[in-house]
Amino acid sequence: MRAAVCRSYGAPEDLVIDDVAEPVPGPGQVVVGVRAAAVNFPDVLLIAGKYQVKIPVPFVPGSELAGEVVAVGDGAPFRPGQRVFATTPTGAFAERALLHASSVAPIPDGADFASAAAFGVTYRTAYHALRSIAEVAQGDWVVVLGAAGGVGLAAVDLAVAMNARVLAAASSPEKLELCRRRGAEATVDYDREDLKARIRELTGDAARVVLDPVGGGYSEPALRGLARGGTFVTLGYASGAIPSIPLNLVLLKGIAIRGMEIRTFMGDRPDDAARDMAELERMFAAGTIRPYIGARFPLTETAAALRHVAERKVLGKVVIDVAP
């Protein structure tokens, strides 16, 4: 079978499309014929050897996929031909993926493969941050940085679904227009406007939550724009720079700074993780949320798909169409 393979750490262009061995399921495992896989920023870090967890090379990157079950191991509760989606640390950018049955779920009627592939990682990250970490309530002002990206746009969608008020911050008129179409009440171009001042002005100095998957020079002005007693949630550093925050700001405004990383969240707070996932899947099955797919690439252009994400050109999610 064909797969995108990382043979040595480096840039997206260092990936090779190669033939690899067909997977065989063991007990409790399934093999899925991948129809669509979604690209996330951590995939870029993994192939560069710069993620929090270092995967030994060679490996097939890709953490979320959708397709059809082609083989089932003993005890796995699926059947060949069943439409499923899944999250996995690696292995999604391939024609077939070996998965533990616990990471696989049926695709709801009415959802296509691309939407199912693009749903898992970013929506779980955003919902855990909103629901369990920030404890967003109806009517709260939520500021989302990088609001047109994968996690950012998922956060916009989910905050709107939770009846919060959303201020979307991004870096171009095109990105901000997309956020407004997805339900953001207010927007700010943080490359052209004073982010702190605009947050205070647009929210009436009532921003209760900031979700920040970007980092860099945007974090401190966003934190300064928070209302007293607000919560700042750091989710990642897509800008490539980890910010240094003066702690006197936290002291003077009574702000809480919380970190959320999906891999450790599930282990640290399993009950919250299970509740959040059940609620998310109900919203997805009902059609309340559907990922916005801004770009699609064939498997042969996996490097281009990763480069698109690495350079922050993406609107919503990037999907790799592995099979027709």
The pLDDT assigned to 266 comes to 85
> What was the pLDDT predicted at 263?
82
Q: Where are the domains of the chain?
A: 2-111+290-321, 124-265
Q: How many CB atoms lie within 10 A of CB 21?
A: 8
Please tell us whether the domain made up of 124-265 is placed in CATH 3.40.50.880: no
Q: Is pLDDT of 161 > 80?
A: yes
β-pairing verdict for 141-145 and 207-212: parallel
Q: Please say if the pLDDT value at position 74 is more than 90.
A: yes
pLDDT at 203: 98
pTM (2 d.p.): 0.90
Task: Spell out the SS3 assignment of 56-82.
Answer: CCCECCCCEEEEEEEEECCCCCCCCCC
Position 314 scores a pLDDT of: 84
* Over residues 150-173, mean pLDDT: 96
Name the burial class of residue 46, with classes exposed (0-12), middle (13-18) and buried (19+) by CB atoms within 10 angstroms of its CB. Answer: buried
287-310 pLDDT per residue, tens: 999 999 999 999 999 999 999 999
Q: 276, 262 in Cβ contact below 8 A?
A: no
pLDDT at 124 (0 to 100): 93
Q: State yes or no: pLDDT of 324 exceeds 80.
A: no
pLDDT of residue 185: 98
Q: Do domains 2-111+290-321 and 124-265 have the same CATH topology?
A: no
Comparing 288 with 314, which gets the higher pLDDT? 288
Sign of CA dihedral 247, 249, 252, 258: negative
Q: What is the pLDDT of residue 262?
A: 86
pLDDT at 6: 97
Q: Where are the alpha helices (DSSP H) in the chain?
A: 41-48, 113-117, 120-127, 150-161, 173-181, 195-203, 219-225, 247-253, 262-268, 270-286, 302-310
> What fold characterizes domain 2-111+290-321?
Quinone Oxidoreductase; Chain A, domain 1 (3.90.180)
**Mind listing the pLDDT tens digit for each residue in 216-258?**
999 999 999 999 999 999 999 988 899 999 999 999 999 999 9
Residue range 27-44, pLDDT digits in tens? 999 999 999 999 998 999
Q: pLDDT confidence of 9, banded at 50, 70, 90? A: very high
Neighbours of 151 (CB within 10 A): 29
Whether 213 contacts 151, CB under 8 Å: yes
Q: Specify the residue for token string 């059947």.
A: 79
So what's the pLDDT on residue 184?
98
For the chain, the average pLDDT equals 95
Cβ atoms 322, 35 nearer than 8 A: yes
Confidence at residue 56, expressed as pLDDT on a 0 to 100 scale: 95
Chain CA centroid to CA 111, Å: 18
Residue/partner pairs of 237-243 with CB below 8 Å, 24 or more apart? 238/41, 238/146, 238/149, 238/213, 238/214, 238/312, 239/214, 239/215, 239/312, 240/215, 240/216, 241/215, 241/216, 241/217, 242/215, 243/215, 243/216, 243/217, 243/219
Work out the average pLDDT over 254-269.
Answer: 92
Q: CB of 60 within 8 A of CB of 34? A: no
Given a cut of 90, whether residue 267 has pLDDT beyond it is no
DSSP H or E stretch at residue 86: strand 83-87
pLDDT confidence of residue 39: 96
Provide the 10 A C-beta neighbour count for residue 44: 20
Question: What is the pLDDT, as a whole number, of residue 15?
Answer: 96
Q: CB of 276 within 8 A of CB of 260? A: no
- Pull the structure tokens for residue 293: 């797919």
**Tokens matching residue 209:** 């939550």
The pLDDT, as a whole number, for residue 137 is 97
